[in-house]
Amino acid sequence: MALMILVFFLLFLVLRVPVVIALGLSSLVYMVLFMDISVIVISQQMISTVNTYALLAIPFFIIAGGLMEAGGISNKIINFANAAVGFFPGGLALVMIVSSMLFASMSGSGVATAAALGSILIPAMVRSGYDRDFSSALQASSAIVGPLIPPSILAVLYAVSVGVSVGDLLLAGLIPGLIMVLCFMILTIIISVKRGYKSDITFSFSRLWKTFLEAIWALLMPVIMIGGIYSGIFTPTEAAAVGCLYSLLVGLFIYKGFSISEIPNVLYKSGLLAAGVMAIVATSAAFSWVITREGLPQLLAEFFTGISSNQMVFLFTAAILLLLVGCFLDSAPAVLIMGPILAPVALEFGVDPVHFGVIVLASMCIGLITPPIGLNLFVVSGVANRPIHKIIPEIGLFFLAAIISLILIILFPALSLVLLN
């Protein structure tokens, strides 16, 4: 009977009901039909969940990313990345990957990274002789590390929804995120050599040092935030607030990318995005409460243990399930729905909760480039003015590279846990 709530949810999605409404409606319909409980519980669960101190980090992260983007951070990061890796074969393609990683570490969002850098780097790559569809696919793929590289909005959502340490999960995603970036870079060099994408610049230490100094204020933001959390100076939520203040000061007085009069517009755009995320959090809370009360996690635990008692079999099966969910759901609602369902099952199999959280985040990263929902595909399609069906064939190899990195994360828990230990 508990599976009926998933049936209702899928039915609403098929009817093209927005995800945030589908989550709330499926919970409401299930409670009315199958539960002898007042529907007021739904609103209570929604309000009590968003009224959580840890979740304050999300609007702060979003505002910080908006301020850094408005402050002219993109060009500083691109120049530094160009000096660091631009001399390799396919240099500009590698610049796109490194720039995306660095920008993601400040915005906390793969979609924001694809939008901010794609408008600059895709035209630059086309002018340098790179195929437009390849450039678009590379930008969509390289930006997916946003949910893994700290600080990460998705990591905060998952940590709060399943009750693990926000700080631990943020730090645990760093090395897996770098592994994914490394896989993309190796693949890009191979493709560039095969297609003849060469670099026209030479390495210069003085240029590297100069661009590093110009970008240092931007690069320091994630260092300050993560360092502050693990030195005990402030909590993850306070770190997000510090990131906002830091972004404001750097954008106004150092990079001078915006004026005081432009701040309300930045806050307005960031507020709209934050409101959308928090609305999904609220309705997902009601949905998760219903499925937990009805024993769906226990049913899944029995199902998985019936298949095999092997931990690795469970992890790979769960990863495949998450990849499939990522094809049809955006990463935020997918994490909020699947996290409370699968996390208790993972504990039954003896999986470290932080390690499992990283697996969930990595799987959701890949969902950003998997049709039909992959948001990064839609973003770069608009930026590059190319139809999605032209970009998808170029995504294939990058999807494979991401899957390889996910397999490594599953097989080697130390990649996630070594910094914590």
- Of the candidates 29, 31, 1, 2, the residue with the CA atom closest to the CA atom of residue 15: 29
User: Is a pLDDT exceeding 90 seen at residue 43?
Assistant: no
Instruction: Tell me the average pLDDT across 389-400.
Output: 90
Describe the crossing of helices 91-107 and 174-195 by its angle, rounded to 10 degrees: 160
Who wins on pLDDT, 93 or 108? Answer: 93
Instruction: Tell me the average pLDDT across 285-302.
Output: 77
- Of the candidates 66, 35, 80, 109, the residue with the CA atom closest to the CA atom of residue 271: 66
User: Is a pLDDT exceeding 80 seen at residue 129?
Assistant: yes
Which positions ≥6 away from 397 have C-beta within 8 Å? Answer: 187, 191
For 159-213, how does the pLDDT look when each residue is reduced to its tens digit (9 = 90+)?
988 889 888 998 899 999 999 999 999 999 999 999 888 877 888 889 999 999 9
- Rounded Cα–Cα distance for residues 52 and 34 (Å): 29
Distance of CA 313 to the CA centre of its chain: 25
Band (152; pLDDT cuts 50, 70, 90): confident
- How many percent of the chain have pLDDT more than 70? 98
Spell out the alpha helix ranges (H) of 86-204. 91-107, 110-127, 132-142, 153-162, 166-172, 174-195
Describe the crossing of helices 353-367 and 388-411 by its angle, rounded to 10 degrees: 170
Q: CA of 33: how far to CAs of 1, 18, 45, 296, 316, in Å?
A: 11, 22, 19, 17, 35
At 171, list the tokens.
């730090």
For 306-322, how does the pLDDT look when each residue is reduced to its tens digit (9 = 90+)?
777 889 999 998 898 88
For 345-387, how does the pLDDT look when each residue is reduced to its tens digit (9 = 90+)?
898 889 999 999 999 999 988 888 887 667 788 888 888 888 8
